[in-house]
């Protein structure tokens, strides 16, 4: 497990100010250095991704701090810090990264060669420094951008000096805290990261090559198969516990296998047959792939992870609230959500914002596109449509705006000065509560008058906003500690028939994210359907290799 706290000396190193070229020129004359020649060459010889323009300047600044003395070697041998980083880079698959991308095999091979001559020492120094910079950058900001998924997400590099990070790593025997500090601090990221190594082991387990095994046959791997089925979300058979000597595919295990086969549309044989193990392997491998992609997306988000937060994971159709969103604390509670439909102009946008206020008994201010494309045709076909659904036509945004007569001239101006507003009540599409996180995308969380949608497993059904299944519970949590808002007062405000706005003294961060892997409420790693088809595109972006465009 990665250590979560940086030593004070490492914090100081990371916060060292960057020196400008002018400052460096005033203070020192940079010496000729074999390492400098490697870093200024067009390509880094022997590296998997030899074009190093993405980190070359930052790495050079790390060496400038020490006037181009070696960072990783002492008298021709790797330092303890260098050996620690080489071990770390060889294990970055546990973080969802690929060791070869950071030249872990090459560096390990160089370490094993013994004392370095001058040329090998320079190559080792340059290769390890570039790998360290790229690994820190990958953990801090992710490797790529996916504008289609997060069109408005800013990836500012302010607040973290990559060159100082390389220097800090070179000055400690244990590199893990520095790398760990660069990574996201959110609890769900840490949970997913912790689950990945086990998922990888399961996907490569020799059990998936065993068999076929018929019901009643001797099967010494029965305990392992039962454990794998549990991780796949198939609970153990409750009718008959496994025998003390669990060495056969008995009736209890056969029933569990049958449930797995049924849920995966396989022939229900109860045997551990080829189709069953093939499907298991596919599920487990997909979990690994989805976890790797989800860890990458987590790194695009702000690192801040303090205090309360609301996280909505679109592919999971799930919202969770956290009293403390770092340090591994479990969510306070979660609930089902309905998200935007799986057609591009109805996707729920992904972004980070804050809940600033709530509105009880809200109006629904119908978006222009919905009003023009859906409501106008219905009211033209049925003159009672507006009244039956409690819609009015208004000008302006005032809560007291006067209702206009819905004549043909007024209807023709809908979307051009005239707006469609739905009055508060049980029929209102936003239900009784609206949770506002003001943004130019006009996306928010809200109650709904269509509660039956929450009975579905696939809930990509809205126009883009997020409908929550337990709005009163969410509102109570948001207003927790505000003595002016008792449960009774909230209930009255929800039935008042007119909007009431409650502004929050302290805003609460909201992350609307897209992760096709995560830890569910039972503690199991799960994959979720790629409802917006973002994962294939992300894989293609990652396959391009370094240097990824910033």
Please determine, for residue 357, whether its predicted confidence score (pLDDT) is greater than 70. yes
Distance CA 432, CA 500 (A): 11
Q: In whole numbers, what is the pLDDT of the chain averaged over residues?
A: 90
Whether the Cβ atoms of residue 524 and residue 231 lie closer than 8 Å to each other: yes
155-164, 198-207, 406-415: which has the minimum mean pLDDT?
Answer: 155-164
Alpha helices in 150-273 (DSSP H): 162-170, 176-182, 187-203, 222-231, 251-263
Please determine, for residue 311, whether its predicted confidence score (pLDDT) is greater than 70. yes
pTM value is 0.89
Q: Report pLDDT for 414.
A: 94
Q: Mean of the pLDDT values across residues 506-510?
A: 94
Q: How far is CA 89 from CA 121, 136, 197, in A?
A: 19, 11, 15
Distance CA 501, CA 116 (A): 70
Look at residues 185, 186, 167 and name the one whose alpha carbon lies nearest to residue 10.
Answer: 167
- Tokens encoding 100: 């070869």
How many CB atoms within 10 Å of residue 121? 21
- Tokens encoding 140: 């801090």
Going by the DSSP 8-state scheme, the letter that residue 345 receives in this structure is G
Q: Report pLDDT for 148.
A: 82
Whether the Cβ atoms of residue 65 and residue 167 lie closer than 8 Å to each other: yes
Whether the Cβ atoms of residue 284 and residue 302 lie closer than 8 Å to each other: no
The partner residues of 422 in beta bridges, in order of sequence, read 364, 391
The partner residues of 271 in beta bridges, in order of sequence, read none
Distance CA 130, CA 165 (A): 12
Spatial CB neighbours of 231, under 8 Å, sequence gap ≥ 6: 202, 524, 525
CA angle 85, 91, 93 (to 5 degrees): 135
Residue 13's pLDDT band (cuts 50, 70, 90): very low
> 155 or 278: which carries more pLDDT confidence?
278
For the CA atoms of 71, 72, 77, 82, the dihedral, rounded to the nearest 10 degrees, stands at 160
Q: Report pLDDT for 113.
A: 87
The partner residues of 513 in beta bridges, in order of sequence, read 313
Residue 32's pLDDT band (cuts 50, 70, 90): low
Please determine, for residue 210, whether its predicted confidence score (pLDDT) is greater than 90. no
233-242, 392-401, 491-500, 518-527: which has the minimum mean pLDDT?
Answer: 233-242
Q: Name the CA radius of gyration of the chain, rounded.
A: 29
Distance CA 468, CA 466 (A): 6
| Phi, psi angle pair for 446, to nearest 5° | -160, 165
Residue 466, CA atoms < 13 Å, CB-side half-sphere: 32
Distance CA 272, CA 411 (A): 65
Please determine, for residue 395, whether its predicted confidence score (pLDDT) is greater than 90. yes
Using one digit for the tens of pLDDT, what is the confidence trace for 268-303?
Answer: 999 999 999 999 999 999 999 999 999 999 999 987
Distance CA 143, CA 309 (A): 25
Using one digit for the tens of pLDDT, what is the confidence trace for 321-339?
Answer: 999 998 788 999 999 999 9
Q: Mean of the pLDDT values across residues 44-70?
A: 95
CA angle 257, 261, 262 (to 5 degrees): 120
Q: Report pLDDT for 4.
A: 36
Q: Mean of the pLDDT values across residues 289-318?
A: 93
Write down the number of H helices and E strands in the chain: 20, 16
Please determine, for residue 73, whether its predicted confidence score (pLDDT) is greater than 70. yes
Residue 31's pLDDT band (cuts 50, 70, 90): low
Q: Report pLDDT for 5.
A: 32
Whether the Cβ atoms of residue 203 and residue 10 lie closer than 8 Å to each other: no
98 SS3 class: coil
Using one digit for the tens of pLDDT, what is the confidence trace for 518-534?
Answer: 999 989 999 999 999 99
- Tokens encoding 408: 């043909």
Distance CA 179, CA 87 (A): 13
Distance CA 326, CA 300 (A): 17
Q: Mean of the pLDDT values across residues 469-493?
A: 94
Q: How far is CA 66 from CA 70, 132, 473, 500, in A?
A: 8, 17, 57, 62
Distance CA 531, CA 513 (A): 13
Please determine, for residue 428, whether its predicted confidence score (pLDDT) is greater than 70. yes
Residue 55's pLDDT band (cuts 50, 70, 90): very high
Using one digit for the tens of pLDDT, what is the confidence trace for 159-203?
Answer: 789 999 999 999 998 999 999 999 999 999 999 999 999 999 999
């Amino acid at each position: 497990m990665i250590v979560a706290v940086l030593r004070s000396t490492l914090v100081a190193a990371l916060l060292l100010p960057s020196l400008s070229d002018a400052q460096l020129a005033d203070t020192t004359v940079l010496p000729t250095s074999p390492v400098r020649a490697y870093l200024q060459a067009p390509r880094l010889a022997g590296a998997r991704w030899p074009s190093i323009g993405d980190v070359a300047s930052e790495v050079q600044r790390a060496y400038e701090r020490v006037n181009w003395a070696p960072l990783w070697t002492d008298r021709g041998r790797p330092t303890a810090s260098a050996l620690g980083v080489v071990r770390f880079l060889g294990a970055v698959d546990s973080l969802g990264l690929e060791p070869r991308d950071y030249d872990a095999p090459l560096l390990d091979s160089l370490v094993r060669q013994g004392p370095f001559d001058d040329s090998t020492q320079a190559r080792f120094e340059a290769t390890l420094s570039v790998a360290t910079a790229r690994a820190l950058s990958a953990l801090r900001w992710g490797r790529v951008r996916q504008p289609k998924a997060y069109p408005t997400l800013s990836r500012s590099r302010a607040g973290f000096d990559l060159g100082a990070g390389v220097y800090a790593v070179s000055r400690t025997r244990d590199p893990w805290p520095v790398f760990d500090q660069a990574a996201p601090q959110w609890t769900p990221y840490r949970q997913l990261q912790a689950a990945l190594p086990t998922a990888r082991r399961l996907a490569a387990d020799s059990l998936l090559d065993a068999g076929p095994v018929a019901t009643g046959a001797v099967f010494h791997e029965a305990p392992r198969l039962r454990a794998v089925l549990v991780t796949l979300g198939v609970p153990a058979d409750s009718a008959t516990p496994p025998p003390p000597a669990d060495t056969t595919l008995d009736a209890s295990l056969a029933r569990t296998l049958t449930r797995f086969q049924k849920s995966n549309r396989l022939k229900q044989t109860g045997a551990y047959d080829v189709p069953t193990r093939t499907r298991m392997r596919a599920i487990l491998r997909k979990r690994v792939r989805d976890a790797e992609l989800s860890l990458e997306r987590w790194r695009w988000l702000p690192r801040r992870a303090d205090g309360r937060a609301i996280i909505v994971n679109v592919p999971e159709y799930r919202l969770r609230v956290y009293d403390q969103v770092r340090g591994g604390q479990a969510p306070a509670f979660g609930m089902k959500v309905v998200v935007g439909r799986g057609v591009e102009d109805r996707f729920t946008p992904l972004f980070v914002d804050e809940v600033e206020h709530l509105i009880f008994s809200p109006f629904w201010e119908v978006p222009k596109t919905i009003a023009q494309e859906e409501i106008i045709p219905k009211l033209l076909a049925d003159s009672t449509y507006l009244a039956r659904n409690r819609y009015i036509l208004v000008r302006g945004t005032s809560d007291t705006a006067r209702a206009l007569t819905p004549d043909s001239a007024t209807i023709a101006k809908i979307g051009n000065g005239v707006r469609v507003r739905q009055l508060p009540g049980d029929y209102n599409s936003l239900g009784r509560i609206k949770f506002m996180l003001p943004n130019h995308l006009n996306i928010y969380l809200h109650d709904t008058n269509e509660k039956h949608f929450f009975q579905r497993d696939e809930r990509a059904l809205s126009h883009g906003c997020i409908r929550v299944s337990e709005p009163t519970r969410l509102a109570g949590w948001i207003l927790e500690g505000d003595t002016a808002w008792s449960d009774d007062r909230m209930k009255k405000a929800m039935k008042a028939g007119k909007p009431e706005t409650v502004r929050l003294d302290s805003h609460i961060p909201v992350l609307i994210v897209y992760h096709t892997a995560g830890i569910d409420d039972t503690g199991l790693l799960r994959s979720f359907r790629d409802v917006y088809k973002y994962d294939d595109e992300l894989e293609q972006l990652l396959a391009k290799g370094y240097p990824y465009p910033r």
